[in-house]
């Protein structure tokens, strides 16, 4: 018989606790996680440092990237013996709410970590609500007690009032000094319920995260709810309907330890040999092919792109390379979708769909940096639902695809429920900002005498265009924001087209609210005039709604562009100067006969129609 | 003897210059360096002058003659006339001894108006010079002051007079577009130069060169020259010169028939030329090379003062031929690069915009004010695939 090392199935689920830490950025999540790892002997500090430094070597040695997304901690309780604590990480950004919800679904409880000086932030609260909705037990914890500015009593009141709990139950720690961490470990055992589940039942395991490892292919993080999964088992992914073998099952301590099997309540990783991340869906349920569960775990959602932008190579010859790069990116980004798009102005490219603005920025940056592509990105647009005269409803992801006014009866746009927490002194400014962005008020709640939570319904299109920056600047950076999809509704929307030298440039078109069309067109035209350099002829720039021109500017023809002197001694130098200028020109995109710098396509983003 | 009285913009003249050979001699010394100047010049340093001319003569003596005598000599600077005519004459003698001078060779010198009185002009003429180029720049005292020039408008009148007495070919350099120069001021500067009976006129837009005091001042907030203003002034000069019977034969140069500058024509035709002095560039045997830029280093190292070189492959040489040649009103025969330019998308746009013109055996620039558009399009051409 095989001897079972410590990583083997924990047969007694009452000895398991699964939890996440929910925290705003900079509120000390990773410091607390490090402290927990240290206290439970998972890694000492020196080892931790080495692990980071040597991660490249480790990758080669073990063939698996160390990514402490789900760490198994062995905790020796002074009074009650040994427990296994699974700490599950959650993505930190609003674009990934669904991923957060899946991570939380793998847990029975959550540590809500709040900076004792800063107080509750919108995103923390949004994730805390998500946890509460998911039936998780919450342990509220104040961090950074060591800070002179810490005001634990006030912040504890704030948390208590938001979550409707007794302020006395709020724990107080300093992740930095370690103060209170032992108490937190005991509270995790006391307050969080142990997982349920029967080892002999048909397997049900939740895929709550996944990533692409260049050596091993897709690595899934799984939480077993029922049954047992072991290396070599024939598996079925119930949503994607993929039948795959369990090549390797193991736990992370955070070192990857391949183990024999994971039983009910356990958390670990699963490698199937699949190379394309698109084939593994976060939220999917893994079962056994030979003894399948009757149904999948609830809560699966297709990743739904909310924001769309056209990506075009500056150099048309790079189209294939862009396609290859997107395909490679999709290996570890299942949420990225695209379809080929052709633009009269920009040639061939791809209409890409993103979870949100951050996701869009990440993808664009990776394409440019990792794949060395020069891209022109069109202004992001939301997906509209257009109701046609025949009653059909179609999704329009690009302004250029908007059906003619005569063949449509309504344009429905996506709305978001926006939650903002701000110091009360900025309440007026924030409400004004929301009003400018066509927001309608839902509710307003004072978290304390100093801070207020505002809930509004705002069209996504309004959030896409510069909302974050404005919120930051109008609240001097103090407000925090979270949002989630909240259905579609009809709005009075029109398409503003931009004509360059008399010809419409599809990449500059935008769908905006009728009341904002004039200002939007005027400002965009002004910006374009400032950005487009003078050329060999006058370039009229016009904004139009339908056939009606609403604004016009002209880039006057350049009159002088010649080196005055070029004699024998100068030729080499002048040539170098021109070579340099030529490089600058290469960035330009030819739109008809007009040279347009890539910044112009971003300008659409920066136009504030208000 | 001056050149044959042919039109300065005749294509035959432009093309013939490709077979000429020349010599450039650099005299770096200036009484005062102008704030817009980025040449290899030095203020004062009287102590170095003697050694410098010794070094020049040594470098000339040590260099290889061409297959034919020199068609053109150009002594520039700096301010050549800041040294005595005898020193300059000695340089011409050294060149004649080593390279030989063609019977109709052009021997040209740059002079500042404040230096060129009649005796100096006579001395230079006796020393073998037959063409003088005067750095007048403007006849407006305010503009002269803004440009940091030391002479007055009257000095310029007198210098032109003295030069005309002794030289068959006199050029005046003018600079336009200085901040503060009015349209009327510029027009009267051009008119006064043309009225003085010169044979050649060079008009240059004031250019802000990197590293000059002018560039620094602008970086610190001074107004920069306005390209639209300069375009207007370029066109005014062009019209006035034409009315005075001069022909524009290069972007910035006008001449009466028979007075096109041979030295310039040969450099624009990629002819070969030797060069002497600090920072001087030469073009020989298909290689461009240049001397150390600092005067003291040059003096130490001459005759072996070369500090760098550029060798062009066949394609880049061809591109350069068209790039430089197109600055001439005569244009270029198309050749490989000219043909490729005309056939390119960028070339077609230039033709559509009336900047470039293509006739069966000639490519020309019709809007010289936008010449750099053409140059960049040319430099962006891909070399032909090896066959």
Both tokens of A211, joined, read 């990533």
**How high is the ipTM of this complex?**
0.91
Q: For chain B, percent helix, then strand, then coil, each to nearest 5?
A: 45, 25, 35
B104-160 pLDDT, tens digit per residue, is 999 999 999 999 999 999 999 999 999 999 999 999 999 999 999 999 999 999 999
| A563 vs B contacts (CB less than 8 Å) | 207, 251, 371-372, 375
- For A571, name the nearest residue in chain B, comparing CA atoms only: B324
pLDDT of residue A559: 95
Exposed, middle or buried, B290 (CB in 10 Å: 0-12/13-18/19+)? Answer: buried
| A537 vs B contacts (CB less than 8 Å) | 353
- Lowest-pLDDT range, A404-408, A461-465, B248-252, B331-335? A461-465
- Lowest-pLDDT range, A267-276, A353-362, B358-367? A353-362
Both tokens of A335, joined, read 């949420």
Q: Which of A356, A330, A317, A227 is nearest to A276 (CA)?
A: A330
Q: Please name the residues in contact with A107: beta carbons below 8 A apart, sequence gap of 6 or more.
A: A18, A19, A20, A86, A88, A131, A136, A223
Assess contact for A507 and A345: CB atoms under 8 A: yes
Q: Do B24 and A568 touch (CB under 8 A)?
A: yes
pLDDT of residue A469: 79
Q: Do A572 and B288 touch (CB under 8 A)?
A: yes
The residue ranking higher by pLDDT, B347 or A317, is B347
Q: Round the average pLDDT of chain A to a whole number and report it.
A: 86
| B205 vs A contacts (CB less than 8 Å) | 560, 562, 564
Q: How far apart are CA A438 and CA A457, in angstroms?
A: 9
pLDDT of residue A162: 84
Q: Do A560 and B370 touch (CB under 8 A)?
A: yes
Tokens 């990773």 belong to which residue? A30
A469-496 pLDDT, tens digit per residue, is 788 889 887 888 888 889 999 999 999 9
Of residues B207, B264, B380, nearest to A582 (C-beta) = B380
Q: Do B228 and A581 touch (CB under 8 A)?
A: no
Confidence of residue A610 (pLDDT cuts 50, 70, 90): very low
| A593 vs B contacts (CB less than 8 Å) | 349, 352
| B227 vs A contacts (CB less than 8 Å) | 558-561
Both tokens of B16, joined, read 């013939």
| A570 vs B contacts (CB less than 8 Å) | 281
Interfacial residues of B (vs A; Cβ cutoff 8 Å): 24, 204-207, 227-228, 230-231, 234, 251-252, 264, 267-268, 273, 275, 279-283, 288, 290, 310, 320, 323-324, 327, 345, 349-350, 352-353, 355, 368-373, 375-376, 379-380
Q: Do B251 and A564 touch (CB under 8 A)?
A: yes
Interface test with B, best of A560, A561, A589, A590 (most B CBs within 10 A): A560
Assess contact for A286 and A237: CB atoms under 8 A: yes
B157-179 pLDDT, tens digit per residue, is 999 999 999 999 999 999 999 99
Interface test with A, best of B315, B375, B378, B379 (most A CBs within 10 A): B375
CA distance B119 to chain A (A): 30
Interface test with B, best of A562, A563, A593 (most B CBs within 10 A): A562
Assess contact for A408 and A348: CB atoms under 8 A: no
pLDDT of residue B3: 47
Q: How far apart are CA A48 and CA A38, in angstroms?
A: 9
| B231 vs A contacts (CB less than 8 Å) | 559-560
pLDDT of residue A58: 40
Q: Is the pLDDT of residue A124 over 50?
A: yes
Q: Please name the residues in contact with A551: beta carbons below 8 A apart, sequence gap of 6 or more.
A: A518, A521, A522, A525, A542, A543
| B320 vs A contacts (CB less than 8 Å) | 571, 575
Assess contact for A78 and A40: CB atoms under 8 A: no
pLDDT of residue A9: 62
- Lowest-pLDDT range, A112-121, B129-138, B330-339? A112-121
User: In angstroms, what CA-CA distances link B355 with B229, B239, B351?
Assistant: 20, 19, 6
CA distance B286 to chain A (A): 13
A260-285 pLDDT, tens digit per residue, is 799 999 999 999 988 887 788 889 99
pLDDT of residue A606: 65
Tell me chain B's radius of gyration from C-alpha atoms. Answer: 21
| A594 vs B contacts (CB less than 8 Å) | none
- For A578, name the nearest residue in chain B, comparing CA atoms only: B376
Three-state DSSP state, B248? strand
β-pairing verdict for B306-311 and A493-500: unpaired
Confidence of residue A609 (pLDDT cuts 50, 70, 90): very low
pLDDT of residue A59: 40
Q: How far apart are CA A252 and CA A255, in angstroms?
A: 5
Three-state DSSP state, A484? strand
Q: Do B205 and A567 touch (CB under 8 A)?
A: no
Q: Do A536 and B350 touch (CB under 8 A)?
A: yes
Q: Do B370 and A558 touch (CB under 8 A)?
A: yes
Q: Between A and B, how many residue pairs show a Cβ–Cβ distance under 8 A?
A: 97
pLDDT of residue A17: 96
Q: Is the pLDDT of residue A63 over 70?
A: no
B22-60 pLDDT, tens digit per residue, is 999 999 999 999 999 999 999 988 899 999 999 999 999
pLDDT of residue A595: 92
Q: How far apart are CA A482 and CA B239, in angstroms?
A: 67
Q: Do A558 and B327 touch (CB under 8 A)?
A: no
Q: How far apart are CA A249 and CA A233, in angstroms?
A: 9
Q: Do A560 and B205 touch (CB under 8 A)?
A: yes
pLDDT of residue A94: 58
Percent of chain A with pLDDT over 70: 92
Interface test with B, best of A538, A569, A580 (most B CBs within 10 A): A569
Q: Do A575 and B267 touch (CB under 8 A)?
A: no
Q: Which of A274, A214, A279, A211 is nearest to A246 (CA)?
A: A274
Interface test with A, best of B173, B281, B292 (most A CBs within 10 A): B281
Interfacial residues of A (vs B; Cβ cutoff 8 Å): 536-537, 558-572, 575, 578-579, 581-582, 585-586, 590, 593
CA distance B205 to chain A (A): 6
- Lowest-pLDDT range, B1-10, B254-263, B326-335? B1-10
Please write down the long-range contacts of B206-213, taking CB distance under 8 Å and 24 or more positions apart. Answer: B206/A564, B206/B36, B206/B147, B206/B175, B206/B176, B206/B177, B206/B178, B206/B230, B207/A563, B207/A564, B207/A565, B207/B36, B208/B36, B209/B36, B209/B37, B209/B38, B210/B38, B211/B38, B212/B35, B212/B36, B212/B37, B212/B38, B213/B35, B213/B36
């Amino acid at each position: 018989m095989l001897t079972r090392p410590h990583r083997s199935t924990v047969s007694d689920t009452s000895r398991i606790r699964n939890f996440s830490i929910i925290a705003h950025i900079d509120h000390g999540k990773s410091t607390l996680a490090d402290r927990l790892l240290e206290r439970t002997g998972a890694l000492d500090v020196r080892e931790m440092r080495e692990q980071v430094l040597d991660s490249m070597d480790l990758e080669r040695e073990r063939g698996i990237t160390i990514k402490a997304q789900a760490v198994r901690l062995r905790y020796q309780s002074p009074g009650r013996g040994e427990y296994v604590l699974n700490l599950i990480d959650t993505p930190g950004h609003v674009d990934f709410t669904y991923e957060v919800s899946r991570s939380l679904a793998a847990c029975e409880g959550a540590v809500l970590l709040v900076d004792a000086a800063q107080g509750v932030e919108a995103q923390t609260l949004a994730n805390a609500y998500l946890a509460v909705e998911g039936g998780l037990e919450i342990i509220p914890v104040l961090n950074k007690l060591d800070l002179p500015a810490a005001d634990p009593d006030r912040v504890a009141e704030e948390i208590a009032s938001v979550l409707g709990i007794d302020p006395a139950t709020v724990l107080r720690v300093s992740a930095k000094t370690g103060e209170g961490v032992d108490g937190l470990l005991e509270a995790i055992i006391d307050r969080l319920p142990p997982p349920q589940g029967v080892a002999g039942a048909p397997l049900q395991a939740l895929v709550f995260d996944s990533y692409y490892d260049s050596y091993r292919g897709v690595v899934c993080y799984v939480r077993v709810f029922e049954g047992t999964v072991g290396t070599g088992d024939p598996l079925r992914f119930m949503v994607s309907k993929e039948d795959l073998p369990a090549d390797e099952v193991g736990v992370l301590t955070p070192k990857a330890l391949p183990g024999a099997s994971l039983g009910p309540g356990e958390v670990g990783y699963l490698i199937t040999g699949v190379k394309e991340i698109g084939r593994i869906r976060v939220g999917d349920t893994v079962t056994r092919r030979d003894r399948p569960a009757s149904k999948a775990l609830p809560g699966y959602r297709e990743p739904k792109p909310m924001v769309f932008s056209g990506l075009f190579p500056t150099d048309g010859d790079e189209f294939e390379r862009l396609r290859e790069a997107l395909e490679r990116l999709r290996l570890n980004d299942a949420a990225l979708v695209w379809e080929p798009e052709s633009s009269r102005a920009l040639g061939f490219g791809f209409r890409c769909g993103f979870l949100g603005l951050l996701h869009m920025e990440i993808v664009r940056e990776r394409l440019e940096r990792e794949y060395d592509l020069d891209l022109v990105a069109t202004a992001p647009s939301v997906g509209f639902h257009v109701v046609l005269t025949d009653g059909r409803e179609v999704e329009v992801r690009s302004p250029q695809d908007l059906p003619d006014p005569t063949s449509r009866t309504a344009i429905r746009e996506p709305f978001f429920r926006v939650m903002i927490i701000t110091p009360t002194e900025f309440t007026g400014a924030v409400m004004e900002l929301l009003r400018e962005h066509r927001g309608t008020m839902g509710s307003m709640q004072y978290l304390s005498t100093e801070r207020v939570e505002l809930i509004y319904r705002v069209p996504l299109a309004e959030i896409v265009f510069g909302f974050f920056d404005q919120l930051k600047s109008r609240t001097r950076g103090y407000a925090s924001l979270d949002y989630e999809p909240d259905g579609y509704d009809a709005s009075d929307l029109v398409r503003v087209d931009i004509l360059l030298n008399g010809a419409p440039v599809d990449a500059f078109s935008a769908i905006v609210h009728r009341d904002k069309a004039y200002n939007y067109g005027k400002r965009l035209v002004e910006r374009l005039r400032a950005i487009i350099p003078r050329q060999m002829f006058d370039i009229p720039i016009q904004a139009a709604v339908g056939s009606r021109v609403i604004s016009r500017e002209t880039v006057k023809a350049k009159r002088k562009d010649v080196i005055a002197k070029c004699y024998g001694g100068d030729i080499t130098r002048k040539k170098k100067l021109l070579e340099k200028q030529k490089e600058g020109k290469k960035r330009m995109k030819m739109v008809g006969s007009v040279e347009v710098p890539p910044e112009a396509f971003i300008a659409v983003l920066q136009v504030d129609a208000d | 003897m001056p050149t044959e009285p042919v039109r300065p913009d005749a294509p035959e003249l432009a093309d013939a210059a490709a077979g000429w050979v020349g010599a450039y001699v650099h005299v770096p010394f200036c009484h005062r360096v102008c704030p817009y100047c980025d040449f290899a010049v030095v203020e004062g340093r009287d102590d170095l002058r003697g050694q410098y001319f010794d070094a020049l003569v040594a470098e000339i003596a040590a260099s290889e003659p061409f297959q034919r005598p020199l068609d053109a000599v150009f002594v520039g600077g700096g301010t050549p006339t800041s040294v005595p005519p005898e020193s300059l004459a000695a340089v011409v003698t050294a060149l004649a001894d080593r390279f030989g001078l063609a019977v109709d060779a052009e021997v040209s010198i740059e002079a500042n108006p404040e230096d060129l009185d009649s005796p100096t002009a006579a001395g230079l003429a006796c020393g073998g010079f037959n063409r003088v180029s005067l750095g007048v720049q403007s006849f407006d005292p305010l503009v002269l002051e803004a440009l940091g020039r030391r002479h007055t408008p009257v000095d310029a009148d007198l210098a032109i007079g003295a030069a005309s007495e002794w030289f068959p070919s006199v050029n005046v350099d003018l600079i336009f577009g200085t901040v503060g120069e009015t349209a009327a001021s510029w027009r009267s500067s051009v008119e006064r130069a043309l009225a003085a009976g010169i044979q050649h006129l060079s008009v240059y837009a004031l250019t802000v060169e990197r590293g000059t005091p002018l560039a620094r001042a602008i970086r610190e907030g001074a107004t920069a020259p306005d390209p639209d203003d300069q375009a207007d002034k370029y066109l005014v000069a062009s019209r006035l010169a034409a009315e005075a019977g001069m022909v524009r034969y290069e972007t910035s140069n006008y001449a009466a028939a028979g007075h096109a500058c041979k030295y310039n024509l040969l450099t624009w035709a990629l002819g070969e030329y030797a060069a002497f002095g600090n920072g001087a560039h030469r073009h020989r045997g298909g290689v461009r090379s240049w001397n150390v830029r600092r005067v003291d280093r040059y003096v130490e190292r001459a005759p072996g003062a070369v500090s760098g070189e550029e060798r062009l492959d066949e394609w880049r040489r061809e591109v350069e031929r068209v790039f430089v040649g197109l600055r001439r009103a005569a244009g270029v025969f198309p050749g490989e690069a000219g043909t490729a330019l005309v056939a390119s998308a960028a070339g077609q746009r230039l033709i559509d915009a009336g900047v470039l013109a293509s006739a069966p055996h000639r490519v020309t620039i019709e809007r010289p004010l936008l010449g750099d558009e053409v140059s960049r399009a040319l430099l962006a051409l891909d070399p032909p695939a090896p066959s």
